[in-house]
Amino acid sequence: MTRNLTFGTAAVLGGVTAIVALLASVPTAKADEVADLRSNNQLLQQRLDQIAQGGAIPGVGGYYPGAGTNPAGNAAAIAGSFPRSFLIPGTDTSLRVGGQITEVFDYWFEGGNPNATPQSTTVGDNGQVQAIPIGGLASARSSNIFLSSPRESKISFETRTPTPYGEARTYMEWDWAGSTAYSPGGNGPLSVSDNLAPRLRFAYGTLGGWLVGQANSNFSDADANAETLDFGGNVGDPGVVRIPQIRYTQPLGWGWGGALSFSAETPETDIETPNGQISSDCGVGCVGVATGPGVAAIQPNPTKASAPDLTAALYIPQPWGHVDLSMVLRPGMQLTDGAYLSRSFMGYGGHIGFSFKPGWFTPKDTFNFHFTAGDGIGRYLNSSTNFAIATNFVATTTSPATAAAVAARTTTEWGGEVGYQHWWMDNLRSNISFGINHHDIPTSIIGAAQAAAANHQLETIHANIIWNPVSFVDVGLEYMWGNRQVVAVATGPRDKTEQVLISKVAVRF
């Protein structure tokens, strides 16, 4: 450091001296201008000496007229309590800033959307596979589509602080996938600048066994998810991906060890009607909008959530992998229109997931597996098009008789995923995986129009290769196949396939 500083000082001083000499040789140069340059030269020398000695610099680190000095202004960063963190001066808190710059390139052979705004790189679950155009002009225009986007880039802040009750931790993370048709929206947002909007992914704090904030659902099992380049990944994984909650985790000192955790999570009542899907947290994109041909809008939104969703999970880590068992209870789902309709429903379901290192080819090769099933679990089989209740409600009831004519019942869902990861070399790996999401939906309740739109079964396959030229850079190529099958059988085409080639470059920091 001192050698580099000395070399840099000599170079800077040599350059300044040469400039001064040149100006001094010009006959028209004024004497006071040369004097100013010499004065600046001396000030520069003083500042460089202060840097070399680790001293404070006037105007930096807290030295300014009328104020005191900041003792930590020029202090070296002190390593924090966890990797890649530093101690915030004057505190016991360690801070780590991290993130990833990601650029994704997608090419649809078939099954894409040529006119999406904003453009989305989520081609699998919670993305395009749930909306593959089936029949008509949209299907005919769904091939040979290319897009690229940095929307998957993200930034995070993590802190850890020792307390008498154990280590307190906070974590916040954003990406740039928060854009909607309203933001940036408009006509051709890419004609000037992408203008992507940030989205909060995680925001939670922990102390002892408690967690409060937005985190992965206690019902989910991210450690058993297959690694995909596709932002959405496979259908069939347990949800919810991220949700506000309060959770308590108790480590286990008996049996195989591990931990037992319980959570109360922000509820949602999600239903399918003859006019389309709506929920208790539905915005302007669905409330009061008629999606079926020739039918009136739903008024009012009859969904109501009266109690949090409850989960319990047993997580058992082992040298060969892990096992996760979880269950969910949804006790507060209601349909009420403020008139004569008032009904309550309960959803429930379970999940098993595991990862396993068989040691066949390399010690790092891994199997992963999920299976989830339940009645009225809706979003807990991770898909934004799943729902808990099917109903024929379309308008406010006017009498006990019209309320009695409203049909409504919970629906059964099941799904799963299986995958395998193989390491060709320490910096080269491949993944292949399959997922399925099955939903039994009564056509007699939701009607023919929605039977032609509601998803009965989704399937996805991902196969990729990922190279790490250096440890913090991923360069990958992936083939994704998806199939969408709607409920309707006799009203026209029932399924359609999606095929996408995905390329991704990610640089972590």
pLDDT digits (tens, 9 = 90+) for 356-395: 999 989 999 999 999 999 999 999 999 999 999 999 999 9
* CATH assignment of the domain containing 358: 2.40.160.10
Whether residue 78 is contained in a domain is answered as: no
Q: Among 2-6, 210-214, 450-454, whose mean pLDDT is lowest?
A: 2-6
Token digits of residue 79: 């390593």
Q: Is 275 helix (H, G, I), strand (E, B) or coil?
A: coil
CA–CA separation, 323 and 354 (whole Å): 4
On whether both 29 and 100 belong to a single domain, the answer is no
Which amino acid, 405?
A
On whether both 41 and 185 belong to a single domain, the answer is no
CA–CA separation, 359 and 236 (whole Å): 26
Q: Assess whether pLDDT exceeds 90 at residue 73.
A: no
Whether residue 81 is contained in a domain is answered as: no
Whether residue 241 is contained in a domain is answered as: yes
On whether both 334 and 385 belong to a single domain, the answer is yes
Whether residue 271 is contained in a domain is answered as: yes
On whether both 43 and 107 belong to a single domain, the answer is no
Whether residue 76 is contained in a domain is answered as: no
In this structure, the strands spanning 389-391 and 270-273 are: parallel
Q: Assess whether pLDDT exceeds 90 at residue 272.
A: yes
| Sign of the dihedral defined by the CA atoms of residues 167, 213, 173, 352, in that order | positive
On whether both 267 and 363 belong to a single domain, the answer is yes
> Residue 493's pLDDT band (boundaries 50, 70, 90)?
confident
CA–CA separation, 397 and 498 (whole Å): 42
pLDDT digits (tens, 9 = 90+) for 109-119: 999 999 887 78
Q: Assess whether pLDDT exceeds 80 at residue 42.
A: no
Q: In total, how many domains does the chain have?
A: 2
pLDDT computed for residue 255 by the predictor: 81
State the average pLDDT over residues 228-241: 96
pLDDT digits (tens, 9 = 90+) for 443-471: 999 999 899 999 999 999 999 999 999 99
On whether both 173 and 301 belong to a single domain, the answer is yes
Cβ 421 vs Cβ 227: under 8 Å: yes
pLDDT computed for residue 347 by the predictor: 98
Exposed e or buried b for every residue in 260-299, given b needs 16+ CB within 10 A?
A: ebebbbebbbbbbbbbbbbbbebeeeeeeeebbeebeebe
On whether both 327 and 387 belong to a single domain, the answer is yes
pLDDT computed for residue 289 by the predictor: 47
What average pLDDT does the structure give for the chain?
A: 85
Which amino acid, 170?
T
On whether both 90 and 34 belong to a single domain, the answer is no
On whether both 19 and 90 belong to a single domain, the answer is no
Whether residue 73 is contained in a domain is answered as: no
pLDDT computed for residue 137 by the predictor: 82
DSSP states of 117-163 as a string?
SS-----STTTGGGG---SHHHHHT-SSEEEEE-TT-EEEEEEEEEE
pLDDT digits (tens, 9 = 90+) for 320-343: 999 999 999 999 999 999 999 999
On whether both 28 and 109 belong to a single domain, the answer is no
Q: Assess whether pLDDT exceeds 90 at residue 282.
A: no
| Owning domain of residue 14 | 2-53
Supply the pTM of this predicted model: 0.82
Whether residue 434 is contained in a domain is answered as: yes
On whether both 6 and 147 belong to a single domain, the answer is no
pLDDT computed for residue 31 by the predictor: 43
On whether both 332 and 474 belong to a single domain, the answer is yes
Q: Among 136-140, 182-186, 269-273, 465-469, whose mean pLDDT is lowest?
A: 182-186
Q: Assess whether pLDDT exceeds 70 at residue 151.
A: yes
CA–CA separation, 460 and 473 (whole Å): 26
Percentage of the chain modeled with pLDDT above 90? 69
pLDDT computed for residue 16 by the predictor: 42
> Residue 243's pLDDT band (boundaries 50, 70, 90)?
very high
Percentage of the chain modeled with pLDDT above 70? 80
Residue with the larger pLDDT of the pair 190 and 315: 315
Q: Where are the beta strands (DSSP E) in 177-268?
A: 199-207, 210-215, 243-251, 259-265
Host H or E run for residue 171: strand 166-175
Q: Is 189 helix (H, G, I), strand (E, B) or coil?
A: helix
> Residue 490's pLDDT band (boundaries 50, 70, 90)?
low
Whether residue 72 is contained in a domain is answered as: no
